Amino acid sequence: MTNTLLIKNGHIVDPAQKLDQKADILIENGKISKIGKSLPPPSKAKIIDAKGKIVSPGFIDIHVHLREPGREDKETLRTASKAAAKGGITTVVGMPNTNPIADNQTVIEFVLSKAKRESLINIQACGSITKGEKGQEIAEIWEMKQSGAIAVSDDGFDIQNLDVYRKALQYCKTHDMPIISHTEDVNLAKDGQMHEGTVSTLLGLKGIPACAEDAATARIITLVEDVDHRMHFTHVSSKGAIDMIKLAQHKHLPVTADTTPHHFSLTDEAVANYDTNAKVNPPLRSEDHRQAILKGLKDGTLSCIVTDHAPHLWTEKQREFQSAPAGIVGFETMLSLIITNLVNTKVLTLSEAIAKITINPAKTLSLPDIGTLKPGSRADITIFDPKATWTVDKTKFESKGMNTPFHGMKLYGVVTDTFVKGKQVLQNGKICSTT
C-alpha cells in the first residue's frame, strides 16, 4: 500500500491556517507534506480527486459515549469508530461513565490499548473526577494521566459538594489536567424528564428548569475564579449558562464551552408526541434558549461543537417516556446538521463552523498535531460535499444505536472520504473493506 497520497482539485478549508482556497495536498508517511496549487504527483502516489468538494482537517469530537467496557450490546469501540469515520470524525474523547467507571488506570489502559487494535480512528480517554462518579472522593487522576487520559469529567453527573470540587480543581491544576463539566444542580433537576415549560405542562411530564444548569454554572465559575484552572462546560443548553460563561470569559477566566447539534437544531417541541428519541440530558429547551445557543456559537462563547453521541438499545427507547434513557446518536449526522442549520442559515460561515470541530477542540484539550492541515501535522483529513443532500435513515447507521430524532429528515452535507494518519478509512461514503 502506497505511503504517498495526493488530494487534488479540492477546496481547502483550514481555519487554523486561515486557508479557504482551491489547492492540492500531498501526504507522505501519514503526515501532511505540502499544500499548493497544481502539485505534480510523485511516482507511485495514489491520486484522490476532490473536485467540487471541501477538504478540511479531520473532525474532532471531545464528548462521546463509546459504551465499552460494559455495554458492548449498545456500542463497541469498533462500531463507534466506523460510525465516526462515516461522519468524518477522526478523533473522539470517550467519557468515563462506562461499566466499570473509568476512574483508574486499569480501565484507561484497557480502552486505549483495545482502541489501538480495533479502532479506525483515534480514540482518546477521559477519566472520572471522583471515584465511581459519586462526587465524594477524588479519583486517581495522576495515575490516569500517566496511563493516557487527557481530561477528567464526572459526565452524567455533577459534583454537588463544592469542597470536593474545589480540591479536584486544585489537584488538576497541579497536574495540568483539564476538567469537562456536566453542569447540573441535582436537586433542581431531580426526577425531571424534559425542559420545564409549556410543553412539559401540556404533556404532564416533570420538567427540568433551566436554572438547574444556570445555578450549577455559576457556582463552578466561582471555583474557577478562586483556583484559576481551566474548565470546559459541555453540552451547554441554557441562556443563563451562556450569559455567565460569556461574562467569565470577559473576565479572562480559563473557561471554554461547547454545545451539541441537537441543542442548536431542535427545541422541546420535538418531545411533543412523547418521542423518546428526543429525550436527552440536558434536555432540549425552548426556542429562546436555542436562539441564545445560536448567538453563543456566533460570538464565540461556545467555541466547540460536540455530538454527545449516546447509543441505546431500541428496546430501551421503546419504553414509556419516564423510563426511557436519555441520549441521541450523533456521529453520522453531525456535519449535516451543522451545514443545514448553521452554515446554510448564515449563523456561521463554513470556516467558522469547521473551526468548532477541528482546531478549537484541539486547543481546548491541548491535543497536539491535529485539527489542522499544516505541513508536518498528522494527515487526519475529511472530504465532504456541502451541497449534496441525503435523508437520514437510522437503519443504515454504522453505529449500533438507532436512537435519533432526525430519522427521515433531509439534510445538506455529505462526507465522502475520511483519512486517519494518511490511511483512507472511508471512500465514497463507504467504510473501506481493508479496515
Q: How far apart are CA 246 and CA 321, in angstroms?
A: 34
Count of CA atoms in the C-beta half-sphere (13 A) of 54: 25
175, pLDDT greater than 80? yes
Q: Please check whether residue 420 lies inside any domain of the structure.
A: no
Determine the residue type at 134: K
Q: How far apart are the first and last CA of the chain?
A: 13
CA distances to 4, 68, 113, 297 from 77, rounded to whole Å, are 28, 6, 11, 30
Q: Are the C-beta atoms of residues 302 and 392 closer than 8 Å to each other? A: no
2, pLDDT greater than 60? no
Helices (H), 119-208: 141-146, 162-174, 186-189, 198-203
**154, 308, 385, 417: which one is catalytic?**
308
- Three-state secondary-structure class, residue 423: strand
Q: In which region does residue 104 sit, left (phi positive, over 0), alpha (psi from -120 to 50) or beta (all else)?
A: beta
Residue tagged 428526543 (cell numbers): 278
Helix axes 211-227, 239-250, angle to 10 degrees: 20
Q: Please check whether residue 50 lies inside any domain of the structure.
A: no
Q: Please check whether residue 136 lies inside any domain of the structure.
A: yes
Strands (E), 78-206: 89-94, 122-127, 151-152, 179-181, 194-195
The CATH number covering residue 90 comes to: 3.20.20.140
Q: Give the confidence band of 435 by pLDDT, cuts at 50, 70, 90.
A: low
Domain assignment of residue 250, given as a range: 57-364
Residue 151 β-bridge partners: 126
Q: Are the C-beta atoms of residues 347 and 294 closer than 8 Å to each other? A: yes
Q: Are the C-beta atoms of residues 259 and 289 closer than 8 Å to each other? A: no
Q: How far apart are CA 236 and CA 245, in angstroms?
A: 10
The pTM of this model reads: 0.97
Higher pLDDT, 435 or 277: 277
Determine the residue type at 433: S
Q: Could you report the per-residue pLDDT of 224-248, keeping only the tens digit for each? A: 999 999 999 999 999 999 999 999 9
Determine the residue type at 247: L
Q: How far apart are CA 34 and CA 6, in angstroms?
A: 10
User: Dihedral through CA 78, CA 65, CA 356, CA 259, nearest 10?
Assistant: 160
Q: Is 380 a catalytic residue?
A: no
366, pLDDT greater than 50? yes
193 alpha carbon, distance to own chain's centre:
23
- H or E segment and range at residue 242: helix 239-250
Residue 1 pLDDT: 45
Average pLDDT over residues 313-342: 97
Question: What percent of the chain stands above pLDDT 90?
Answer: 97
153, pLDDT greater than 60? yes
Strands (E), 240-306: 255-259, 304-305
CA-closest candidate to residue 121, choices 55, 199, 64: 64
Q: Are the C-beta atoms of residues 435 and 425 closer than 8 Å to each other? A: yes
Q: Please check whether residue 135 lies inside any domain of the structure.
A: yes
CA-closest candidate to residue 217, choices 187, 239, 193, 190: 239
Helices (H), 9-131: 77-86, 105-118
Q: Could you report the per-residue pLDDT of 329-358, keeping only the tens digit for each? A: 999 999 999 999 999 999 999 999 999 999
Average pLDDT over residues 410-422: 98
Residue 24 β-bridge partners: 36
CA distances to 276, 393, 410 from 322, rounded to whole Å, are 9, 26, 29
- Exposed, middle or buried by CB within 10 Å (0-12, 13-18, 19+), for 244? buried
Q: Please check whether residue 232 lies inside any domain of the structure.
A: yes
Q: Please check whether residue 134 lies inside any domain of the structure.
A: yes
Residue tagged 425542559 (cell numbers): 195
Q: Give the confidence band of 43 by pLDDT, cuts at 50, 70, 90.
A: confident
DSSP conformation letters of 376-414? TSB--EEEEEEEEEEE--GGG-SSS----TTTT-EEEEE
* Sign of the CA dihedral with 112 first, then 115, 121, and 127 last: negative
Residue 383 pLDDT: 98
Q: Give the confidence band of 434 by pLDDT, cuts at 50, 70, 90.
A: low
Q: How far apart are CA 404 and CA 432, in angstroms?
A: 25
Residue 3 pLDDT: 85
The three cell numbers of residue 295 are: 448567538
Residue 126 pLDDT: 98
- Residue 340 DSSP label: I
For β-strands 46-49 and 31-36, DSSP reports them as: unpaired
Q: Please check whether residue 393 lies inside any domain of the structure.
A: no
Determine the residue type at 238: S
Q: Give the confidence band of 44 by pLDDT, cuts at 50, 70, 90.
A: confident
Average pLDDT over residues 145-157: 97
Average pLDDT over residues 386-413: 98
Q: Please check whether residue 294 lies inside any domain of the structure.
A: yes
Neighbours of 37 (CB within 10 A): 8
Tally of domains in the chain: 1
The three cell numbers of residue 417 are: 472520504
